[in-house]
Amino acid sequence: MRTDTPKTVYLQDYKPYPFKVTAIDLNFDIRDEQTTVTAITKFSRKDPKASQIFLNGEDLELVSIALNGEPLEKFTQDERGITFKPPAGDEEFTLETVTVIKPAENTRLEGLYRSGDTYCTQCEAEGFRRITFFPDRPDVLTVFDVRVEADEKDCPVLLSNGNKISDGKLEGGRHFTVWHDPFPKPCYLFALVAGKLTHIHDTFTTKSGRKVDLYIYVRPGDEGQCAHAMESLKKSMKWDEDVYGLEYDLDLFNIVAVSDFNMGAMENKSLNIFNTALVLAHPDTATDLDFMRVESVVAHEYFHNWSGNRVTCRDWFQLSLKEGLTVFRDQEFSADMHSPDVQRIDDVTHLRRFQFPEDAGPLAHPVRPDNYIEINNFYTMTIYEKGAEVIRMLRTIIGPENYRKGTDLYFSRFDGQAVTCDDFINCMEEVSGQDLSQFQLWYSQAGTPEVTTTGKYDGLEKTFTLTLSQNIPDTPGQTDKKPMHIPVALGLLDPSGQEFPLDEERNTTKILHLREKTQTFVFEKIQYPPIASILRGFSAPVILKDDLRDDLKPEDHAFLMRHDPNGFNRWQAGQTYMLHILDEMLDQGEEIPEECFRAYGALLDDALRPESDKALLARMIHIPDVIHIGLQREEIDPAAIYQARDDLINGLLSAHKDKILAIYGMHNDDDGDSVTAQAVGARALKNTALHILTNKCMKEDVDLCREAYKNARNMTDRIAALQRLTLFRTGSCMDVLREFYERYRDYPLVIDKWFAVQASAAREDTAAIVRQLREHPDFSLKNPNRVRSLFAAFAMNNPVCFHAPDGQGYEILRDAVAELNTINPQIAARLLTPLKEWRRYTPDRQALMKSALKKILEIENLSPDVYEIASKSVAD
Ligand code: BES
Ligand code: ZN
């Protein structure tokens, strides 16, 4: 158990660093047992009064330290770093340190570590202090010169940021490269890679004619799975030029894939380092979803070159400045590459599933937090996803032209600087002439606003009056919040499905600016009682409480699901409608209404039409999953929800088996491994149909899925079938599972799927299976992907088993966190996510979850990472 309380960092304590770092010269001498880092750092004074200089440095063995060439005698060192007295006067001074680190022993995967045979770095947020002594904060920018030396046989490839200046051979089979990055950067963007890697190469010519060499480095044998990432990179480079006018700024861009990585990927200047899971993609081994994800993460990291690298964050409280903006950019990129409606549906589903609960839970925090214990815990759904929604709302409010003027101003004004979220908003204010001070509350107030709507039609005056009210719930440390500026996109439909024009230009979607607690909007010349389509495209990250009782009736949602011209709202109406029916089944034991069978049948008819949007329809015919249903319940009982959902699916299946079978059959002979939007959509629809079709778990269902597995010509179809077989788990199903393992035992990313699919099966014996898999020879706590594939899949994707009333699920997670606490605290803390929401569950589950958290607080040598999440989760 911890006896001390880890320190909290506060935004209000921000002070500029009193020195400037004019340059750093780094030398890495990489050897098997250890790496020696020599850093020659040049400082100049910014604050004439500063009497001390502090450099971060953790877990470093200091070999020597010299100031201006003389050994430094007087300095103090603690577990956070060193402090010494700088020379008086304005003269530049030079510090030379030699430190030794042990990458092979680094299981935290922060700083310099080994992944397989490859040395690589991860410095964001605070990893550089594990490499050498330096002011490890994003507002200290400097020019990096880096020399890397290693054994040529073990490490033929030696990379760092910027341009390669020279290379050469040395005695004893050693060699070196030297790198210069002309762009000053904070140390969190530093990177180094050394290892035995092969690459693929391509080029991209920027709009002003710069020819850029593009490389993707991977483990030998994986080069056949890189083409998709390379295509994605070129598309991203082109898109950023077209949409934001932003060009790449060096002649070289490298991506390196490593298999041990805490996150998805990292935007180090000109040397992006990726988790293999987000680079490698081949139809044999990656699903359509994996393909999409690779494309969007490659784009995301590339876009950071401007939003994050050229213009960076002043401090980590401003993290959303780069992450929220870059997520928004990658979402829009993906929307442009594929279907905007489907992209929006998937992004909103993600937001609701992960960010809304965070915003309603014990760790709720604003998009710009004001305190943290461990910064790694603040790479959250709020910073990322809500942060992206905030940028999207800004664009909606000031309009796309002003938004582009605003980003132009932002990138030119702050190029080479470390700035704040306010700086960004001020640019938007300046170019649009709009007062955004109320809007800025989105950065400081936590909690998801609830918006209530009431509509009234006046048949004599032909007016429709819509009243909107907002309520911002209390969150830890924040009560009595001010009303926010919420853009609500609205359309009005007449009974034939036609839209009413809502302004002089006859636009049919209007943005209502809700700024007061309650506000009324009147629409004239509305000839019939309209059906309101509210919050089109999810124009603001709010919870809409039109909740079907007052103005919008279930049949209105069924109507909108058929007729709303806004694709997102068509989907939303269908979901709202089905969630309503599930609620009635759960609370009142209601039967499935006739209207539901009819509405669902109409959707299936749509899906059967050859020209329909298959990707969208796959999402529309999908019955909201257990987690999703739970999100809107007062008290979550996953087992009861599972049962109701099962009844609904079986009811719909009995009524429409022929149609569902036809949908499944319709796409069964597609061309197999093509990844065009058409093919991807068709597979999504087909596999959704397969899952519904085999919901009753009959013998014939097993046969159908085995058939599907056997005929699969790509990983998407194979996994879809395997998910069902793993759920049935009969003898013949187990044969398939074994066949899958044997076939892919040399493909770690596919073996991850093999673990995940078993951990996600809603079966009585899954907890026991997870415990067995923990002991599987292929399991390792040191590999984050493998940890996620077993424990995160179980705890986050398998609500019924994780929340089993006997508490087994929570115990499994607690044991995993205890073990991981010392191996990799960052991953351990992230695993805790599902326990944060204990207050949302039935009382028996609440007690068990809370006691699991308390036991976690008793772990010896508890890391600050785990401590922060567990202690804040149980706090009253
Ligand atoms: N800068 C982050 C990576 C990062 C996060 C490093 C936390 C250190 C700590 C990177 O740009 C990022 O956001 N990656 C995401 C994927 C992205 C598409 C949202 C990730 O790794 O999950
Ligand atoms: Zn990012």
Average pLDDT over residues 30-56: 97
Residue 263 Cβ contacting ligand 1 at under 6 Å? yes
* 8 Å CB contact between 24 and 143: yes
Over 90: is that where the pLDDT of 669 sits?
A: no
**816-863 tens-digit pLDDT:** 999 999 999 999 999 999 999 999 999 999 999 999 999 999 999 999
**In Å, how far are 105, 575, 603 from 777, measured between CA atoms?**
21, 42, 46
Confidence of residue 710 (pLDDT cuts 50, 70, 90): very high
Q: Which of 506, 640, 493, 514 is nearest to 573 (CA)?
A: 493
Cβ(521)–Cβ(514) below 8 Å: no
Cα(738) to centroid(ligand 1), Å? 34
User: Tell me, what's the pLDDT at 549?
Assistant: 42
**Residue 273 β-bridge partners:** 256, 266
Ligand 1 neighbourhood includes 123 CB (under 6 angstroms): no
Which alpha helices (DSSP H) does 564-637 contain, by range? 567-588, 594-608, 614-621, 626-631
- Determine the atom of ligand 1 nearest the C-alpha atom of 323: 13
Cα separation, 406 vs 554, whole angstroms? 42
Long-range contact pairs involving 209-212 (C-beta distance under 8 Å, separation at least 24): 210/247, 210/248, 210/251, 211/251, 212/237, 212/248, 212/250, 212/251, 212/252, 212/253
Closest ligand 1 atom, residue 127 Cα: 8
How far is 203 from 298, CA to CA, in rounded Å?
Answer: 16
Torsion over CA: 39, 42, 47, 48 (sign):
positive
Could you tell me if the CB of 266 is within 6 A of ligand 1?
yes
Instruction: Report pLDDT for 551.
Output: 55
548-600: pLDDT as tens digits: 445 568 888 889 999 999 999 999 999 999 999 999 999 999 999 999 999 99
- The pLDDT-based confidence of 675 (bands split at 50, 70, 90) is confident
Residue whose Cα lies nearest atom 2 of ligand 1: it is 266
Given this model, what pLDDT does residue 351 score? 98
From the CB of 499, is ligand 1 less than 6 Å away? no
How confident is the model at residue 10, as a pLDDT? 98
What is the pLDDT, as a whole number, of residue 668?
54
CA atoms within 13 A on the CB side of 735: 8
* pLDDT attached to residue 265: 99
φ/ψ region of 850 (left if φ > 0, alpha if ψ in -120 to 50, else beta) reads alpha
Q: Which residue CA neighbors atom 21 of ligand 1 most closely? A: 264
pLDDT in tens, 789-822: 999 999 999 999 999 999 999 999 999 999 999 9
Tell whether ligand 1 has an atom less than 6 A from the beta carbon of residue 265: yes
Ligand 1, pocket-test mutation among 354, 379, 381, 382, most atoms within 8 A of CB: 379
Kindly state the helix (H) or strand (E) to which residue 479 belongs, with its residue range: none
Confidence of residue 872 (pLDDT cuts 50, 70, 90): very high
Residue 323 Cα to ligand 1 midpoint, Å, equals 8
DSSP SS3 for 218: strand
Contact call for residues 608 and 666 (beta carbons, < 8 A): yes
CA proximity to 381, closest of 330, 319, 451: 319
Residue 2: predicted pLDDT: 73
Reported as a single tens digit per residue, the pLDDT across 271-293 is 999 999 999 999 999 999 999 99
User: Is 601:581 a contact under the CB 8 Å cutoff?
Assistant: no
Q: Which ligand is nearest to the CA of 128?
A: 1
Of 146, 138, 144, 145, give the one whose Cα is nearest residue 186. Answer: 138
Please report, as a single letter, which amino acid is at residue 616: L
Task: Note whether 17 and 141 are within 8 A (CB).
Answer: no
State the amino acid at position 767 in one-letter form. A
Q: What is the pLDDT of residue 674?
A: 82
Reply yes or no: is the peptide bond before residue 125 cis, omega within 30 of 0: yes
Q: What count of other Cβ atoms lies within 10 Å of the Cβ of residue 160?
A: 29
Ligand 1: does its nearest atom lie under 6 Å from the Cβ of 267? Answer: yes
Ligand at shortest distance from the CA of 292: 1
Which atom of ligand 1 lies at the shortest distance from residue 265's CA? 21
Is residue 876's pLDDT more than 90? no
Nearest CA to ligand 1 atom 19: 327
Q: How far is Cα 98 from Cα 66, in angstroms, rounded to an integer?
A: 9
C-beta 379 within 6 A of ligand 1: yes
In the structure encoding, which two tokens stand for residue 681, read together? 């959509």
Question: What residue's CA is closest to ligand 1, atom 1?
Answer: 266
Average pLDDT of the chain is 96
Mean pLDDT of 252-280: 98
**Is the model's pLDDT at 449 over the cut of 70?**
yes
Report whether residue 829 contacts ligand 1, using a CB cutoff of 6 Å.
no
pLDDT per residue as tens digits for the range 488-544:
999 999 999 999 999 999 999 999 999 999 999 999 999 999 999 999 999 999 999
Catalytic positions, written as ranges: 301
CA nearest to 143, candidates 177, 180, 169, 168: 180
Query: Which among 493, 452, 448, 513 is positioned nearest to 475, based on CA atoms?
Result: 448
Q: What confidence category does residue 438 fall into, taking pLDDT thresholds of 50, 70 and 90?
A: very high
What's residue 552's pLDDT?
65
Report, as an integer, the average pLDDT of 281-309.
98
Q: How far is the CA of 378 from the centre of ligand 2 (A)?
A: 13
The residue whose CA has the least distance to atom 18 of ligand 1 is 297
∠ Cα 654 655 661 (to 5°): 75
The ligand 1 atom nearest the CA atom of 384:
19
Nearest CA, atom 13, ligand 1: 323
Statement: residue 474 has pLDDT above 60? yes
Ligand 1 in reach of 294 Cβ (< 6 A): no
Structure token pair of residue 305: 């070159």
Does residue 564 have its Cβ closer than 6 Å to ligand 1? no
Please compute, for residue 646, the number of CA atoms within 13 A of its CA located in the half-sphere on the CB side.
11
Nearest Cα neighbor of 304 from 322, 278, 279 is 322
Query: What are 67-123's pLDDT values in tens digits?
Result: 999 999 999 999 999 999 999 888 999 999 999 999 999 999 999 999 999 999 999
Residue nearest to atom 16 of ligand 1 (CA): 264
Evaluate: CB of 651 within 6 angstroms of ligand 1: no
Span from the CA of 323 to the centroid of ligand 2 (angstroms): 5
Inform me whether the pLDDT recorded for 366 exceeds 60.
yes
Q: Residue 555's pLDDT is what?
A: 83
CB of 125 sitting under 6 A from ligand 1: yes
The Å distance, Cα 264 to ligand 1 centre, comes to 6
Statement: residue 344 has pLDDT above 50: yes
Q: Which two tokens stand for residue 169?
A: 């051979």
Ligand 1 centroid distance, CA of 328 (Å): 14
Ligand 1: distance of its center to the CA of 114 in Å? 20
Ligand closest to CA 326: 2
Identify the band that residue 623 occupies on the pLDDT scale cut at 50, 70 and 90.
very high
Cα separation of 531 and 551, whole Å? 9
Pairing of strands 418-419, 312-313: parallel
Mean pLDDT, rounded, for 155-178: 98
Mean pLDDT (whole number) for 183-198: 99
- What per-residue confidence (pLDDT) applies to 671? 63
d(CA 576, CA 348) in angstroms, rounded, equals 14
- Given a cut of 80, is residue 254 above it in pLDDT? yes
Q: What is the pLDDT of residue 548?
A: 42
- Residue 670: the pLDDT is 57
